[in-house]
A and B are shown apart, each in its own frame.
Chain A
């Protein structure tokens, strides 16, 4: 019934009075606005709006003319452009004479917005698989929504009770938990929100989120309302993630792999516990920023690692590098780093996540293997070279002897030539003897060195050799300066070290620059496990580009040439190497040469 004490126009809802021909006799402002009608709407027929409203409405209006009231559910009307609107109406036939000539009162609401919202909610609930339930403790009834039933996989007409509801939870932890929570809810009004396992009617185990909110009246629980959400997919994914993470953690702990997480935008770098172990750094010494990591990197690797990281952030996806760090105790460690760049939807770098582990043992093993390989390769090459040299030198004497004897056996040469040939023969056989003696010396060096290794004082040896050559230095105008402290101890064979020093000093005299006053300067340099002896001269120098390779080789035949470096340096090198040492030269023509011999320190003086 319309309250006629207030004008219809001001009614707070969409209402109209229509005459028998469905012309408006009165209209509320709200209805007029809904259909863009003149507020008076007089003379306008409601039939004019037929193409904008559901057919069912007009049917009900016709029924009203017959005296039949009607009330509709929301009815959907689809406009020609595809848009949809919902309408809900209530139509009452009126007594004649009320509201002018009107015979029908129609309340017509456009409920599109509400319907859309409800629809959305339903869709959302469906998508989120959220169902609801209510337990009325006073009436002892229980209500499950459609979705709740769907989650339990029970038919739509299933009638639950509190006990059957609880029994759907998996026996054990889940059922015990929900029983306790429901009891606490009833007794104390405590709400719950938990994740448990249900066993559906079809005997399928699923994870649900169960939320319950008791309503208390005078300290007594009258009702519990709650929701159910099927979170099985999410929960299983979550559990899988946890399982994988745990597995990774176990693996990471076992392999001492550190995990890092670099927030590029905010420059925060998080390390897990293993990272601190890998870097040998206490937690309070790490500032948690990129620069703090960069500071740990070995000086020689700083530049390229930083450039590589920046480049990866800018353009790449994967980070893979091996680099060195210096721990707090100045220990060098090799680190393997692998990581990935995480980018936002626009492709901007946001994060970098990765792992680090210590590969020092592998690197050391690799280096040792390489060194062993180098030594073996070098020894093989050196042996092969030696074999060729031996064959060459022996053959050169052999071929001379053969050629000369051929001449002597022939009658075609003159007496004078015969005498020359005989002299040559003597020379060739002497040469052969020398060669054999030299070869013997080399072979002995290669086989006997270890037997005679003792602790030697380089200071003593250098001074002793220097004194023995005093006359040579004086006659050649050479100044010798020795800066080798006594007590520079090395492991070596006395005769070899003496011979090497003697050979290098006499070479310095032999190859002095006639235009300069010749100087020889001898110094030592102590390294961690070795001592380096430098013998420096200001002589002619050597073009190392041209002769470098051959300098220490036995490329020269044993012919006696005044200017030849010949066998000397070859023997020196063999002697030094047989003692586990090395000899290198740096030189510039016209400037002079520095020969550097490195020998092992005795073990007890290791630094």
Chain B
């Protein structure tokens, strides 16, 4: 049995979540995927994993535009959160925005591994996962 790859999808759009999950499944990897609908849920979910002493995700796909807590606020909150191992999470911003300001802002954050315009292609997804497997 190969290593378990832990992913997280933080997006409020059920279609995106559906698509991502389907795509991950098609890759046929040994995956464990968390789905959180906004930044607040994601932050609480991650803290929950820490409390239960369960492993944090290897890769986190983060939407920017979400209700309650958006992607930007999530990144800030995560920075401040006392969460051992959070630095090892590879965060990919996955957004419909093609505004260069958003892209630059995301890439300027140390926590962000890359900025990907939706929809993510299967090839790119494979490439990302191969980096952590």
Contacts and interface: CB of A to CB of B under 8 A. Distances in A.
Partners in one complex: yes
Interface stretch (A194-202, A284-292, A391-399): A391-399
Contacts of B13: 396, 400, 557, 559
Contacts of A392: 65, 95-99
A433 to B, nearest CB: 15
Interface in A393-440: 393, 395-396, 399-400, 402-404, 406-407, 412-413, 417, 420-421, 424, 427-428
A424 B21 CA distance: 14
Interface string A541-554: 00000100000000
A426 B12 CA distance: 18
Interface in B85-133: 95-99, 117-119
B14 interface: yes
B15 A563 contact: no
B1 interface: no
B19 A404 contact: yes
A406 B18 CA distance: 13
Interface in A427-469: 427-428
Interface in B53-102: 65, 67-68, 70, 73, 95-99
B68 to A, nearest CB: 7
B16 interface: yes
Contacts of B14: 424, 427
B26 interface: yes
Given A392-B97, A417-B22, A400 B65 contact: no
A564 interface: yes
Contacts of B73: 546
A358 B22 CA distance: 74
Interface in B13-56: 13-16, 18-19, 22, 26
Nearest to A561: B67
Q: How large is the interface on A (under 10, 10 to 19, 20 to 34, 35 or more residues)?
A: 20 to 34
A511 interface: no
Contacts of B68: 563
A555 interface: yes
Contacts of B12: 557, 559, 561
Given A392-B65, A557-B13, A563-B67, A403 B19 contact: yes
Contacts of B22: 407, 413, 417, 421
Interface residues of B, number: 22
Nearest to B73: A546
Contacts of A391: 97-99
Contacts of A546: 73
A427 B67 CA distance: 19
Contacts of B96: 392-393, 395-396, 399, 557
A234 interface: no
A420 B98 contact: no
A563 B22 CA distance: 28
Contact of B15 (A393, A406, A427): A427
A548 to B, nearest CB: 13
Nearest to B120: A403
A388 B97 contact: yes
A475 B65 CA distance: 33
Contacts of A556: 65, 67
Contacts of A407: 19, 22
Contact of A557 (B19, B65, B99): B65
A564 B19 CA distance: 23
A402 to B, nearest CB: 6
Contacts of A417: 22
Nearest to A424: B15
Q: Which of A399, A402, A413, A557: most chain B CB closer than 10 A?
A: A399
Nearest to A428: B15
Contact of B99 (A388, A403, A406): A388
Nearest to A427: B15
A404 B68 CA distance: 27
A407 B26 CA distance: 10
A341 B62 CA distance: 66
25 contacts: A388-B99, A391-B98, A392-B65, A392-B95, A395-B96, A395-B117, A396-B96, A396-B118, A400-B13, A400-B19, A400-B118, A403-B118, A404-B15, A421-B18, A421-B22, A424-B14, A424-B18, A427-B14, A555-B70, A556-B65, A556-B67, A557-B13, A559-B13, A563-B68, A564-B67
Interface of B: 12-16, 18-19, 22, 26, 65, 67-68, 70, 73, 95-99, 117-119
Interface of A: 388, 391-393, 395-396, 399-400, 402-404, 406-407, 412-413, 417, 420-421, 424, 427-428, 546, 555-557, 559, 561, 563-564
- Which 3 pairs of residues, A with B, have the shortest CB-CB distance? A396-B96, A399-B118, A399-B119
